[in-house]
Structure 1
Amino acid sequence: MELLMTEKLNSFQPYTIAALRIMAALLYFAHGSQKLFGFPIAGPESLSTLALISALLEVGGGILLVLGLFTRPVAFLLSGHMAFAYFIAHAPQSFYPVANGGDASILFSFVFLLLVTTGAGKFALDNKR
């Protein structure tokens, strides 16, 4: 019985990975669009070079991940980007992620790391190449 349940649940794995990829990418994209375009809420008046690079990675990487295009290398790059962002911007403020505002960066980093190992799941252009 347990084996049948495990097999049934495993059959949903590619769809669940796709849902995680798409939702994480949309949220990630929103961070970049806020910085670059002031949407959905107003962003900073000006961006430093580091913030501009970050915003471009968030917008470009978010689009590529939503499409499921070059998922593994893009996810690898973005996982490192979020780890870097955490240690540069958040960790110096406090040891505790909930206190330094870096919990989203940590979560994005590990979600993207998961996508490096699992691939895009269903509904990805990677599956057409």
Structure 2
Amino acid sequence: MRTLLPDRWNRLLLCLFRVVTGLLFACHGAATLFGVLGGPEGGHAPTFGQWPGWWAAAIELVGGLLVLLGLGTRGAALLCSGSMAYAYFSVHQQHALLPIQNGGEPAVLFCWSFLTIAVVGPGALALDAVLPALGRRDTATGRRPAPAGD
């Protein structure tokens, strides 16, 4: 199958999608945990370790930053996707069947966005492609290989 854009452009667009999604998700976590960017929903931050609010916000902040940076991207994205699926079915779905009726649209969109990133990978300019190469040395020459990437 032929695509409209060259592979390099597809990888850059995927990178932008990953960065924007991770940034928005991290902002939700920061708002909830630290009262910044408009503060937590409901007016008060969850107590440290409180289930599920504090843990959800911690996953949003840390997972969002990892996805944003492209570090441990697939695993972080899968965890973020799962947390949004949990949020949808435990909080929103009990109010109505459809996301537009129960206020769960952001949870559904984040869930599917992160699942997409987990499946297709981080795209271009991810730290995943650079960091493993920094610690390895070629056993024959003793030199570090050039980092893979775009």
TM-score, length-scaled by structure 1: 0.90
| Cα distance, 1:118 vs structure 2 | 1.0
Cα pair distance change 1:123/1:19, threshold 3 Å: same
**Number of equivalent positions:** 125
| Superposition map of 1:1-129 within 5 A | 6=3, 8-43=5-40, 44-47=43-46, 48-128=50-130, 129=132
Quick one: distance in 1 between partners of 2:110 and 2:94?
19
Spell out, residue by residue over 1:32-79, the C-alpha distance to the aligned partner (whole angstroms, 9 max, x if none): 111111110022324142100000000000111111000011111111
| Cα distance, 1:81 vs structure 2 | 0.7
Higher helix share: 1
Quick one: distance in 2 between partners of 1:9 and 1:94?
42
| Cα distance, 1:7 vs structure 2 | 5.7
Relative contact order higher in (CA < 8 Å, ≥ 6 apart): 1
What is the identity percentage for the equivalent residue pairs of Structure 1 and Structure 2? 34
Quick one: distance in 1 between partners of 2:124 and 2:45?
38
> Which stretch of the first structure deviates more once superposed, 8-17 or 47-56?
8-17
Q: Alpha carbon RMSD of aligned pairs, Å?
A: 1.4
5+ residue gaps, structure 2:
133-150
TM-score, length-scaled by structure 2: 0.78
5+ residue gaps, structure 1:
none
| Cα distance, 1:26 vs structure 2 | 0.8
